[in-house]
Structure formats: C-alpha cells, structure tokens
Amino acid sequence: MQRRHFLAGAAAAGLTAACKPSASDTQHITGDFTGIHIARGHQLRGTTAWPAPFVQRRTRVLIAGGGVAGLAAARALRLRGMDDFALLELEDSAGGNARGSHINGIACPQGAHYLPTPGDDAPVLQDLLEELGLRQRVAGRWQYDERHLCHSPQERLFFHGAWQDGLLPVQGVGSDTLAQYRRFAALVASAQRAAPWPMPSANRPLAPMQIALAAITFEAYLGNNGLTDPQLRWYLNYCCQDDFGAGLSTVSAWAGLHYFASRHGFHAPGTEAEREGVLTWPEGNAWLTQRLAAPLLERLHTGCMVLRVEQGKHGVTVDAINTRTQAVERWQAEHAIVALPVFVAARVLAQPPDFLQQAAHRTTYAPWLVANIHITQPLVDRPGAAPSWDNVLYGAPGLGYVDAMHQSLHPVPGATVLTYYRALGDASWQGQTGPGAGRQQLHNSPWTTWRDTIVAELATAHPDLARKTDRMDITRYGHAMAIPTPAAMAFLHQFRSQNMPQRSSIKRKQLSKALQSHAMWAPQSGRISFAHADWAGYSVFEEAFALGHAAGEQV
C-alpha cells in the first residue's frame, strides 16, 4: 500500500487551516461508544471474590473465547463430528476483533476489514473459503468469486494537497527517495530468497537469519541499512501501525519484513507488480466470523465472562459469570481450549503453566480506535485519484478510512459509512508515551473529543465532512492486538523451538498430512490447549484461524 505528497505553498497551507471545523460545526453529529463492554473486562480485573456457582453444566470440550481462534476451534471440532462442546464469549456477539455493525441500514466493520487471498501455506483457511463459496476450482485452477474481491480503485493517498493512486509516496519525490525505495525492495527480495516467510507463521520455527531480525527493532534494521528517507520511513511506519498497532521503533525487524515478504513483497515505482488479491465486505471480516458462528446455535454462549479455569485429574472446571443474570455458572469438561489473550488466560487459570506466565509478561498490547462515520451524501473530492476503498492521509495520526459502500454496484453514489482507524500503540498523552498512554487516552477522552478530533483530521482532505456527517459510532479496544516486539518474538521463538513437535518424531504415515497442513500444533498443558493470535506474536486472521484449528484438532 502506498501514499502521496502535499502541494507546497502558502495557498495550500491556508486551505488546510480553513478546513478545520470548529466545535459548533460538529454539534449536530450524534453517536456513542459502541461494540465493546469495557466495564466487563475491568470487572474481572477489579474483583477478587465471586458468588458460589448457581448452576452446573457439563460438556466434552469447553472453548473460552469467541474470537477468530475460538470460532476456528469450534469449526475443527464440528469437522471431526464432535458436537458436544460449548463456547463462552464475553461480548454479546462472537468475532473478537472481526465483528461488524450497522448504521442507518449500512453494514460496516468494527475492526478487521479485509483478508488477503491465502497461499498454500494456509490450506485450512483455503478450505474454509471453499466451504463458504468464495473460491472454486474452474478448469483445474482456483478462482475467487469476484463479488468478494476488492473492487478497483483499491487504495489512494492524500499527499501534498492531492490524491495519488497507491499508498507509497511517489509524486514529486526526489531521486534519493526513489533510490531508497529500490534499496528496500532489494532487501525484501533478498530476505524472501534466504528463508521461507509463511502465512501463517506460528507453527514454523524461524531460520537463523530471522531470529537475528526478531531481536532488533525495525527502526534499527533500517538504520543499519542506511534507509533514512522520510517518505520511505513514513510508509513503513504506517504499514507497521496498520498490521501491528505500533510503529518502527516498537515492532521487531522480523515483523516489519514479514509484512512484505510473506505476501506481496515490496515494489519500487517503475517495477511491475501484480496487485494482491484482497477479500473484503461492507461489514469487514465480520462476514467471515458471522458464518463461523452461525452453525454453533445453542452451543454459543455470549455475555459470559470466564472467571476461573482449573485443571483436575479427570477434567477441567470452568467458572463463568452470566453478565445478564450476574449468576456464576460452573462448567465441567474433559478438555478446555483457552482462546483468550495470554494476559487474560494467565489471570483466569488457577495454576498457570510457566510458559503462559512468561508469555503474558512479555506481551505488549496496542490499543485501537475504530470510528464508523455515516455521511448522508458523497463528499467533495480533492484533485487526483478517484475515491477508493482504502483512503489514507499522509502525516495524519490516524490510518485513514475504508468506504463501506465501495463494493456496491449502485450506479449513483449516495450515503455511506466511512470506517476510520487509529492505532494507539505509540500514543503520547499527558506526558506519557506508549500503549499505556494510549489506553488512558482511549478511555478517558469523551466521545465528543474523539468526534471533533477525527472530523478535524479528515477535513484536510474533505472540508465538507462535518456538514455531511450525521452520526459517528466509536469502538474502543484497550488491548486490541499483541505487538510483535523484539522481547515477545524472542520468547516465542524459544518456546516454539523447545515445544513444537519435530518432524523426525512424526510417524511416517502421518508425515504427508503434517507437511500439507502447517496448522498441526498449538500450545498445550495437560487437558488445556491454548489458541489465540497472541501465540503468533501479532494479530491477523490467518494466524488466529490456524492456531484455533490446531487446538480443535488436538483435543
């Protein structure tokens, strides 16, 4: 993804200043904080004594957590013909960071909003897409349903007062900038030749070269290679924030390179590049999670907060509070799949294994804000590239917005929802910096402050935004995703190398299946399996789905 420059000059600067709306310009915009019940999670943190269990239930397998990993585990159980299980989810709907909503009848995402078409390193995910009718084999070749592939134009950047195609700043940049683009492209290509960069990565040990990259920040890696260009660094910082919730100075060099090496590479201007296939829907990845949740029926229990997980000789006991009745329910199961963030898992397990405590200690989480902005009519556009699915403003604190109606085939544009994203892993607030400051800013700033801040930011490119907006719903994630810091990646590499089954230990008749599926392992302790994107070190659909499927296969 790539971006552009602003038109220099006093006239452009004056226009930008004139676009900033005053507080009175936004008073007509209604809305609220939606989607996440923050008080529920804080209740778990702040309460030490709970009522005695009011009711007892039994099931063969209990899944704690209804995000992508928990839903994938449930699907794996169903594929095995195992129907005796239950899934407990804290929120009122399953999906985790991949849930959706509606504003005035228009579907929109409340989190993750796309899925790159998976490669052969993700056969289980490929099977899911085939199951859902998103791809099929035609004349011996796989084809994706074009209705679900992102329509063109796909992305654009507001740079130097005009829109450009793509997100890498190219228009008006100097020869030194272009040379650094080519240099970074060569480094990515070299990394791809030196080692595999599969997606998902959680079940493949790192090569020695990758271990060295995981130990340093992406910023240090760029400095070691003389890559100092501001446009290149801005773009790479955007990419890191977009996928990992934090920027160059926080994420590991392995993560920064994996963003490109595992998928589309990095293509400098002037080189031929085939655009990566991207699946997207108006409601984002909620399209997928809703279909994963639908077959569960009465086995899905929403509004249930897991309080305690205790492993015994003959089974697992799970206590959970029903947030609707405030009654504690006790579940007895033969096995449990804990598909919770590692910091929550470490808190609720009665006797957490050492590896879980270490993972929780070393994992840092990025806060996120997602704002769904309902506009009543099309916005007046600046010069340059046409309105796109993904629209980014160079130098802005946010990550831009996607258009919920971009996939629509309506011939005349009309009302739509613009979904704005901001990662707060590197936030600065009241003299503090980092994820903790981001969480404080996220939770303590009133909805009206966020509304006015977001409108002012986007008004640089859309001066009529305030006038045409009538509602803004904001979803806050205090611990949205694990950040792949050097400390976290070093621990996860060591843990995998010590605990992942070696291929030499796999029986010959199992070998072909093991080589075909890279989702054959998830962390396990006795009767408890762990499944969450945290065990990959970063949060994307591919990793969570693979880990959840693996946990569902091994119980």
C-alpha to C-alpha distance for 257 and 255, rounded to whole angstroms: 5
C-alpha to C-alpha distance for 333 and 12, rounded to whole angstroms: 65
| Contact status, residue 179 vs residue 186, Cβ threshold 8 Å | no
Asked if the peptide bond before residue 109 counts as cis, ω within 30 degrees of 0, the response is no
* Paired sense of beta strands 135-138 and 278-279, if any: unpaired
Tell me which H or E stretch contains 482: strand 469-483
| Contact status, residue 301 vs residue 106, Cβ threshold 8 Å | no
- pLDDT on residue 140: 79
* C-alpha 413 chain-centroid distance: 29
C-alpha to C-alpha distance for 164 and 92, rounded to whole angstroms: 40
Q: 133's torsion region: left (phi>0), alpha (psi -120 to 50) or beta? A: left
C-alpha to C-alpha distance for 475 and 150, rounded to whole angstroms: 24
What is the DSSP secondary-structure string of 53-94? Answer: PSEEEEEEEEEE--SHHHHHHHHHHHHTT---EEEEESSSSS
Is this model's pTM higher than 0.95 or not? no
- pLDDT on residue 21: 59
Give me the residues paired with residue 306 across strands: 320
Give me the residues paired with residue 333 across strands: 59, 316
Domains of the chain (ranges, CATH numbers): 30-34+103-114+278-283+364-483 (3.90.660), 38-97+285-360+485-502+512-554 (3.50.50.60)
pLDDT in single tens digits along all 555 residues of the chain: 333 332 233 333 333 334 455 556 999 999 999 988 887 877 777 666 778 888 999 999 999 999 999 999 999 999 999 999 999 999 999 999 999 999 999 999 999 999 999 998 999 999 999 999 999 988 878 899 999 999 999 999 999 999 999 999 999 999 999 999 999 999 999 999 999 999 998 777 899 999 999 999 999 999 999 999 999 999 999 999 999 999 999 999 999 999 999 988 999 998 876 667 899 999 999 999 999 999 999 999 999 999 999 999 899 999 999 999 989 999 999 999 999 999 999 999 999 999 999 999 999 999 999 999 999 999 998 999 999 999 999 999 999 999 999 999 887 789 999 999 999 999 999 999 999 999 999 999 999 999 999 999 999 999 999 999 999 999 999 999 999 999 999 999 999 888 877 544 444 444 344 434 444 689 999 999 999 999 999 999 999 999 999 999 999
Give me the residues paired with residue 476 across strands: 369
Three-class SS state of 143: strand
